[in-house]
């Protein structure tokens, strides 16, 4: 598996024809089942349409790197699934990829327009990194007293990135979703 910094996210949005939701759900289940065994595939989050809203499904696929994403795009599983898509959808899918810091801001379930406000992402990252550097830096310095600065820094950064990726940012993204994704909330309610 590649480093977290190399992970890539593919966001696919499809508008489903009225009355074809069950067909699309069955098709999507077959695609996800076939995709499950592909090397580098880390999973998929599905955002289903909100009641009385636009009939858009958003699938957020995660891969351990660009090479794994490209392998998925060229895979027989995907090719077969696309051939079976039929007339379940109204138009071609909209694709978007994301790497880097955007991975820490996975949209919450139910988000209709998954566009985080950049300045809000920056503010949240500054606050989180500042707090982690203060707390973890002091803790690591205490535990590794007498060790080289470079070693203490490497340990501190490793702990911070791991905590941010697997615990802090997913938690804060859920808790602060209304603040991070204000346009998504307006679109969903308006």
Tell me the pLDDT tens digit for each residue of 176-190: 877 776 654 443 434
Are 21 and 92 part of one and the same domain?
A: yes
Provide the greatest CA pair distance for the chain.
68
76 burial via Cβ count (<10 Å: 0-12, 13-18, 19+) = exposed
**C-alpha span between 118 and 101 (Å, rounded):** 10
Q: Please report the pLDDT score of residue 98 as a whole number.
A: 56
Q: Is the pTM of this model over 0.75?
A: no
**C-alpha span between 82 and 76 (Å, rounded):** 10
Question: Which two structure tokens, joined as six digits, stand for 136?
Answer: 């973890």
In a domain, 136, yes or no: yes
**C-alpha span between 63 and 10 (Å, rounded):** 8
Q: Where is pLDDT greater, at 92 or 99? A: 92
Q: Please report the pLDDT score of residue 186 as a whole number.
A: 41
- Write out the residue range of the structural domain in which residue 152 sits: 118-178
pLDDT bucket at 110, cuts 50 / 70 / 90 = very low
Residues 6+ apart with CB under 8 A from 112: 47, 50, 53, 54, 56, 184, 187, 188
Are 52 and 129 part of one and the same domain?
A: no
Are 18 and 62 part of one and the same domain?
A: yes
In a domain, 88, yes or no: yes
Q: pLDDT, tens digit, for every residue of 33-58?
A: 988 888 999 888 888 887 777 778 88
The residue from 45, 73, 102 where one domain ends is: 102
Structural domains counted in the chain: 2
Are 98 and 8 part of one and the same domain?
A: yes
Single out the residue of 163, 136, 124 nearest to residue 4, CA to CA.
163
- Give the range with max mean pLDDT: 81-85, 112-116, 170-174: 81-85
């Amino acid at each position: 598996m590649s480093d977290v910094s190399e992970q890539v996210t593919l966001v696919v949005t499809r508008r489903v024809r009225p009355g074809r939701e069950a067909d699309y759900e069955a098709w999507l289940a077959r695609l996800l089942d076939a995709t499950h065994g592909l090397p580098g595939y880390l999973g998929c989050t599905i955002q289903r349409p909100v009641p009385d809203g636009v009939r858009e499904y958003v699938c957020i696929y995660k891969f351990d790197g660009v090479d794994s994403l490209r392998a998925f795009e060229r895979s027989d599983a995907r090719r077969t699934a696309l051939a079976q898509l039929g007339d379940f959808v109204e138009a071609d899918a909209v694709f978007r990829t994301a790497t880097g810091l955007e991975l820490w801001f996975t949209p919450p379930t139910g988000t209709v327009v998954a566009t985080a406000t950049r300045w809000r992402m920056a503010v949240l990252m500054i606050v989180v990194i500042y707090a982690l550097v203060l707390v973890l830096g002091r803790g690591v310095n205490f535990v590794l007293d007498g060790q080289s600065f470079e070693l203490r820094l490497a340990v501190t950064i490793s702990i911070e990135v791991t905590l941010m990726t697997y615990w802090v940012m997913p938690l804060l993204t859920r808790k602060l979703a209304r603040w991070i994704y204000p346009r998504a909330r307006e679109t969903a309610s308006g």
